[in-house]
Structure 1
């Protein structure tokens, strides 16, 4: 099953012949603040299966071309991300000498959190902050959406807690400031175009990812190459904090990261999951003295 958010927090099931609106089943009216309809639907999904099937069988089909797709999950409890999770990416970071060079793989340094407000959807542009002296890079990642919450989830039970998958871009300002700040600008976490439920993916270790900028292939990898794989991401994160339905885990990026500028188009494609193309625009906000490299020097 494929689930989308659209037109102010409405929820739909994607079919070949159109989208069926199932917003009412979430119990959260469209336009509500905070926009937790999809999170609520995920939490109650097992008990709603029959009602969803009935809605899909008899509901009107909406034309996707007439809808504005949004980030499928807009208000998760947590947005967790794993850095340095492909060996080839670690090697390219060391040789490029840009950004904060980690001396540990993800298996040794763990994860970090991105601001939920960095989430954007497949209809939104990536808005670059006004930092003319900094490179801003794309990072192509798989989003793992938690379905069943839990704490201290053992690795061998971890996949039971996965609701589904989506495409995710982890945008970043290169530099030596705190990672969470460099990655949390508005629109720095595009998610979409939909959630594919876990039952649609036969092998979570054989998911192919790729990213293109203006049609040029820049990143290509498979989840089998992850240092910390999906079950271990869940086990590690849940050893620290309780995972909740709708939480998002970003897998980490493969090699091939590179700069984007206003006017570029970034396309992320994950086989079996989806594809979205996002325009990059230059914004006017985001400047602050903290980004002055002199501020990072020891006192």
Structure 2
């Protein structure tokens, strides 16, 4: 199943991607009382487990002939594909070739940092360039979305706790990031975590450690790699984090970025993101996430 979150009046609504467009779940469920239990938000979908997903699939099939319930994607104002995670956990320096381009040793254990909810942004949403930064960078990343409460899980069982995956951009203000040894300041500026446009359930994706990852800046290919280059695999990341904190449905894990970021270029070739730049993150099976950068 492929879902989206979109702005509808004063709230964020749940949609299902189909060949006819995006199904407005709330509008469809309102047609008949038998659909009263259908999840109408991303949060309800994730909390409801397999039962909620099956019910949503049955609703989609039942109303497929009613064209008025479906919207063209270009008419939607996308919200973050996961609008309200309790945690956004990021893994740093997790691709071999990215570590190589930064002349840094491969970490012995995952390097973890966090972003906060203010950093979330949706597909096609403008990302402000902070006035305090002159070195804003892109980072294409596979995002894992947790579907079941996970605590101290093994690597072997870790993927069974995943609901699905998204494309994400771990936007980073490098000058702020490296002001101190703590990366937080440069990582969680407003809208520095675009995620989407789709939330794709795990069975549609298959092996998350075999996905092509690309980034384009104004149409120019900058990153071109595969999640197989990760130092710590998706199961290893989930298991490691769960040994130290409980993961809840809807929690988002950004798994690191491959080579090709601006900070990996020689100093004389570093041209940082500027007003009007359009960045597209494309991950195999997860669609294209596009954002325009604007001076704050």
| SS of equivalent residue, structure 1 residue 193 | coil
Query: Does the alignment pair 1:167 with 2:145?
Result: no
Query: Does the alignment pair 1:64 with 2:73?
Result: yes
- Give how far 1:73 is off: 0.8
Q: Give the Cα–Cα distance (whole angstroms) in 2 for the partners of residues 193 and 110 of structure 1.
A: 26
Distance 1:26 1:180, change over 3 A: farther
- Give how far 1:104 is off: 5.5
| SS of equivalent residue, structure 2 residue 221 | strand
Q: Tell me the number of residue pairs that the alignment of Structure 1 and Structure 2 aligns.
A: 267
After superposition, what is the alpha-carbon deviation per residue over 1:84-131, rounded to whole angstroms, capped at 9, x for unaligned?
10121122223xxxxxxx6552x4253111112101000311111002
Q: Give the Cα–Cα distance (whole angstroms) in 2 for the partners of residues 131 and 230 of structure 1.
A: 34
CA RMSD of aligned residues (A): 1.8
For structure 2, the 5+ residue unaligned runs are 30-35, 64-68, 263-271
Q: Give the Cα–Cα distance (whole angstroms) in 2 for the partners of residues 6 and 264 of structure 1.
A: 24
Residue number in structure 2 paired with 1:5: 5
- TM-score normalised per structure 2: 0.85
| SS of equivalent residue, structure 2 residue 256 | coil
- Give how far 1:278 is off: 1.2
- Give how far 1:75 is off: 1.1
Q: Give the Cα–Cα distance (whole angstroms) in 2 for the partners of residues 245 and 87 of structure 1.
A: 30
Residue number in structure 1 paired with 2:290: 277
Residue number in structure 2 paired with 1:43: 47
| SS of equivalent residue, structure 1 residue 82 | strand
- Give how far 1:180 is off: 1.3
Q: Give the Cα–Cα distance (whole angstroms) in 2 for the partners of residues 224 and 207 of structure 1.
A: 7
User: Which aligned pairs between 1:253-264 and structure 2 lie closer than 5 A?
Assistant: 253-258=257-262, 259-264=272-277
User: Which aligned pairs between 1:122-133 and structure 2 lie closer than 5 A?
Assistant: 122-131=123-132
Q: Give the Cα–Cα distance (whole angstroms) in 2 for the partners of residues 204 and 157 of structure 1.
A: 14
| Paired residues of 1:70 and 1:123 also in contact (CA < 8 A) | no
Query: Which stretch of structure 1 is more off in the superposition, 227-236 or 271-280?
Result: 271-280
- Give how far 1:49 is off: 3.3
User: Which aligned pairs between 1:171-210 and structure 2 lie closer than 5 A?
Assistant: 171-174=171-174, 175-177=178-180, 178-210=182-214
Query: Does the alignment pair 1:143 with 2:143?
Result: yes
Distance 1:167 1:5, change over 3 A: same
For structure 1, the 5+ residue unaligned runs are 30-36, 95-101, 284-299
- TM-score normalised per structure 1: 0.84
| SS of equivalent residue, structure 1 residue 280 | strand
